[in-house]
Amino acid sequence: MRILLIGYGKMGKTIERLAKAKGHEIVGTLTIEDADRLQEFTAEQVDVAIEFTSPAAAVPNILTCFEKGIPVVVGTTGWLEQLPLVTEQCAAAQGSLFFASNFSIGVNLFFHFNEYVAKKMQRYPEYAVQVKEIHHIHKLDKPSGTALTIADGIMAHYPQKQGWVNNATHNPEMLGIESEREGEVVGTHIVQYTSENDTFELHHIAHSREGFAAGAILAAEWLPGRQGIFGMPDLLEL
Ligand X SMILES: O=C(O)C1=N[C@H](C(=O)O)C[C@H](O)C1
Ligand Y SMILES: NC(=O)C1=CN([C@@H]2O[C@H](COP(=O)(O)OP(=O)(O)OC[C@H]3O[C@@H](n4cnc5c(N)ncnc54)[C@H](O)[C@@H]3O)[C@@H](O)[C@H]2O)C=CC1
Contacts with ligand Y by CB under 6 A lie at: 6-12, 30-32, 35, 52-54, 57, 61, 75-78, 100-103, 212
Q: Which stretch binds ligand X (CB under 6 A): 56-64, 122-130, 140-148, 171-179?
A: 140-148
Q: Which stretch binds ligand X (CB under 6 A): 21-29, 54-62, 88-96, 141-149?
A: 141-149
- Residue 103 Cβ vs ligand Y, minimum distance, rounded to whole Å: 4
Q: Does 108 help bind ligand X (rule: CB under 6 A)?
A: no
43, 69 contact by CB (below 8 A): yes
State the binding string over 155-174 for ligand X (x if CB under 6 A, else -). Answer: --------------------
3-state secondary structure the chain: CEEEEECCCHHHHHHHHHHHHCCCEEEEEECCCCHHHHHHCCCCCCCEEEECCCHHHHHHHHHHHHHHCCCEEECCCCCHHHHHHHHHHHHHHCCEEEECCCCCHHHHHHHHHHHHHHHHHCCCCCCEEEEEEEECCCCCCCCCHHHHHHHHHHHCCCCCCCEEEECCCCCCCEEEEEEEECCCCCCEEEEEEECCCCEEEEEEECCCCHHHHHHHHHHHHHCCCCCEEECHHHHHCC
Q: Does 13 help bind ligand X (rule: CB under 6 A)?
A: no
Of residues 170-209, those binding ligand X (CB under 6 A) = 187
Q: Does 101 help bind ligand X (rule: CB under 6 A)?
A: yes
Pick from ligand Y, ligand X, none: which does 8 bind, CB < 5 to 8 A by kind? ligand Y
Task: List residues with catalytic annotation.
Answer: 135, 139
Our CB check for ligand X shows the closer of 135 and 157 to be 135
Pick from ligand Y, ligand X, none: which does 7 bind, CB < 5 to 8 A by kind? ligand Y
Pick from ligand X, ligand Y, none: which does 153 bind, CB < 5 to 8 A by kind? none
Bind-site residues for NAD(+): 33, 75-77, 100-103
